[in-house]
A and B are shown apart, each in its own frame.
Chain A
Amino acid sequence: MTTTPAGDIAVATSSAGDIVGTRNRWYLGLLLVAAPVLLVCWLIIYPIVSAVIQTIWLPDGAGGFHLSFSTYAFFFSDDYSLANLWLTLWTTFVCAALLLVVCLPIAIYLRFSVGRLPAYVQALAIFPMFVPSIILSYAFIRVLGPNGMVDILLNAVHLPKMRSPYLTPWGPVIGLVWDHIPLTVLILLSGLGNVSNQSIEAARDVGAGRWTVLWHIILPRIGNAILVAASFAVLGIFSAFTIPYVLGPAAPEMMGPYMQRTFRELYDPTNAITQAVVSFGFCIVFGLFYVRSVARNQKT
């Protein structure tokens, strides 16, 4: 708890601290990151640029091309597309909120308890990571679908059947929340590593209650982790495919299945790419949140 990594770096970059002799060979660092940077440019940046160009530089029917925003105008004036976008945003935010509500108590429990039970709880919380989403989807139908296990249990205690969430927007919400629990718990848990036991004990000593400790000691220290966890959840859920495809309603559909259908079944790549660019536009906002929080972390 007494080491200050930032201090070490400061020493290494001061004129007297050029221990490994890299000060005059600044290009070494660039070379080390060159491979991932080139890969990102080739596999991510270039496709994005080419996708945007393909959606605004359209053939004019006479063999030439011209600048046109007609596919975007269509998307944002088409009720069906907008309903799909709205459903995607709704699902994403509901899932992100539910994930934090579900995962924060689990993470806090795992951080502050000792013994054998937390180890089992952690294993259970990480378990969804090892279940492919297609298997999860079919298991969901068996358990929460009509006449599934839950209905059988309800029937056994003479309760009426529930309205199954299968094929409604709540189906993907439940599936996606379950699927994203491991990553969210792990990120929050690493954030909770920043909260020292001493600070909590100090607060307790001066008479702080549980909620005061949570609100004034724990949450301020893990704000960044919550932001990162929420960004990861949002990015993963916005582009989800399998779970909304199998469990969601036919319409409105989430952007993932919508894009795939436009591309493969309507043979309409231009509109499919337009949908992808619109999705990308929303995702990049959350990506920027994440990048900003990482950058802020490195500065401090």
Chain B
Amino acid sequence: MKRREFIVAGTAATALTLTTRLAFAEAGRIDWYTTSDQNILDFWTNIVKPKFEAANPGITINLVDAGDNAGAQAIAERALAALGSSADPQVDMIEGFDARQPVGAVDKGLWVDFKAAGLSNYSKINPLALQIDGMPQNLPYRGSQVLLAFDTTKLAAADVPKTFADLIAWIKANPGQFIYNRPNKGGSGGNFVRRAIYEANGKDPSVFKVDNYSAEAGAKALEPAWALLNDLAPSLMDKGAYTSGNSQSIQLLGQGAVTMIPAWSDQTLAAIAQGALPETTGIVQLQDLGFPGGFSRFTVPSNGVNKDAALKLADFVLSEEIQSAVLTELGGFPGVSWDYVSADLREKFKDVIPASIPVFPGGDWEKAINEGWYRAVAPNIDPKS
């Protein structure tokens, strides 16, 4: 990945130097940055921007790819440095960003508090999304969740497992037809592993909190999960192989090497649209407890020249029009409650609508999972096989 990252970072750096040289914030032009992948930038370019500009004559959006989080953080630091002076931060919105950074920005009032900003659509936001994050300076607007993608030519939709126990039974009954990626190399395998951890701990996501990790709690919660996954390993592709990323799993499903994989909802729909996965790919969410996922958020700096226009955009993004497009065009989940998308979409996506979106905490738990899985589960594969 190094080379690709380098190219992306290099391109972003070039783009940044160009924009800082040539661009001065203009009244009525929202300077928008993103840390997300190309499919998100395409969504904003092709859907959000034209619709918003048509609805708000005189306001334009300048979409800029910040490359990654580090790129956006540099932009945010510039805004923080400009705070309290008359300097122009040249940024009005950062997509895919967390207001917890840069350090101290919230205390100094860099980010707009959306709760108090008077957005007409704020009350529509899925309470689950607010509860997961709990940071009023972050505005959740789209969700993504891991689900099962499968080959309908080999497995009829009616026979697809609906619970995790059924899934395990199916994997064992169909050896070699399932693969997930290493939990640290992409969220699809990572959240499959986390779902297995829930399964081994009474399917109760509330057991895991960002601050309740200890070595004993970790061993008690994780060891049964490792046993469960080890038990599964001989039934995986090549008797216990694990791909090194989300897209490699999708590639194996596309080549017909396996019948079912865990995959991100948006990535799967994009892969089907682009032909990387055939039209005959089916997707399904577990009904007893869904695979974990999360919400993406954006932030608005309080000192941007076009703050009011940016808040108008924020409100627009939460409207039914854009939230429905998140489902249909992006393959993500709406950031608003399901009641605020159109009824026919609710019906169409009922198979993937989760009863809940469990979110596994990061921090020490994540570290323990990454380390524990490699030591306890991964070596199952015989290097001489």
Taking beta carbons and an 8 Å cutoff, which residues of A are in contact with B?
A: 80, 83, 87, 132-134, 138, 141-142, 145-148, 163-164, 166-169, 241-242, 245-246, 248-253, 261, 265-267
Chain A: which residue is nearest B245 at the CB level?
A246
Chain B residue contacts of A169, Cβ below 8 A: 383
Give me the 3 closest cross-chain CB pairs, A-B, nearest first: A251-B378, A146-B257, A250-B378
User: Does B241 lie within 8 Å of A141, measured CB to CB?
Assistant: no
Q: List 9 A-B contacts (CB under 8 A).
A: A141-B252, A141-B255, A145-B255, A147-B256, A164-B238, A245-B1, A245-B244, A249-B378, A266-B370
Taking beta carbons and an 8 Å cutoff, which residues of B are in contact with A?
A: 1-4, 182, 184, 237-238, 241-245, 248, 251-252, 255-258, 367, 370-371, 374-375, 378-379, 381, 383, 385
Assembly CA distance A138 to B379 (angstroms)? 24
Given A167-B238, A266-B367, A266-B370, A134–B1 Cβ distance below 8 Å? yes
Assembly CA distance A226 to B182 (angstroms)? 38
Assembly CA distance A16 to B196 (angstroms)? 83
User: Does B237 lie within 8 Å of A146, measured CB to CB?
Assistant: yes
How distant is B263 from chain A, measured CB to nearest CB, in Å? 16
Assembly CA distance A133 to B367 (angstroms)? 29
Chain A: which residue is nearest B363 at the CB level?
A267
Chain A residue contacts of B374, Cβ below 8 A: 80, 250-251, 253, 261
Assembly CA distance A132 to B367 (angstroms)? 31
User: Does A138 lie within 8 Å of B251, measured CB to CB?
Assistant: yes
Assembly CA distance A41 to B182 (angstroms)? 38
User: Does B2 lie within 8 Å of A167, measured CB to CB?
Assistant: no
User: Does A249 lie within 8 Å of B248, measured CB to CB?
Assistant: no
How distant is B18 from chain A, measured CB to nearest CB, in Å? 25
Assembly CA distance A169 to B379 (angstroms)? 13
Chain B residue contacts of A145, Cβ below 8 A: 251-252, 255, 257
How distant is B153 from chain A, measured CB to nearest CB, in Å? 13
Chain A: which residue is nearest B375 at the CB level?
A80
Chain A residue contacts of B1, Cβ below 8 A: 134, 242, 245
Chain A residue contacts of B370, Cβ below 8 A: 261, 265-266
Contact of B241 among A87, A147, A167, A252 (CB under 8 A): A167
Assembly CA distance A242 to B241 (angstroms)? 18
User: Does A141 lie within 8 Å of B251, measured CB to CB?
Assistant: yes
User: Does B255 lie within 8 Å of A146, measured CB to CB?
Assistant: yes
Assembly CA distance A142 to B229 (angstroms)? 28
Chain B residue contacts of A163, Cβ below 8 A: 238
Chain B residue contacts of A167, Cβ below 8 A: 238, 241-243, 381
Most chain B Cβ neighbours within 10 Å, of A80, A167, A246, A252: A167
Assembly CA distance A138 to B256 (angstroms)? 16
User: Does B257 lie within 8 Å of A134, measured CB to CB?
Assistant: no
User: Does B182 lie within 8 Å of A250, measured CB to CB?
Assistant: yes
Chain B: which residue is nearest A169 at the CB level?
B383
Chain B: which residue is nearest A87 at the CB level?
B383
How distant is A167 from chain B, measured CB to nearest CB, in Å? 4
Chain B: which residue is nearest A264 at the CB level?
B184
Chain A: which residue is nearest B241 at the CB level?
A167
Chain A residue contacts of B4, Cβ below 8 A: 134
Assembly CA distance A266 to B256 (angstroms)? 34
User: Does B255 lie within 8 Å of A147, measured CB to CB?
Assistant: yes
Assembly CA distance A163 to B379 (angstroms)? 19
Chain B residue contacts of A246, Cβ below 8 A: 244-245, 248
How distant is B25 from chain A, measured CB to nearest CB, in Å? 35
Given A141-B251, A250-B374, A242–B257 Cβ distance below 8 Å? no
Contact of A141 among B182, B248, B378, B385 (CB under 8 A): B248
Assembly CA distance A80 to B241 (angstroms)? 17
Assembly CA distance A246 to B181 (angstroms)? 11
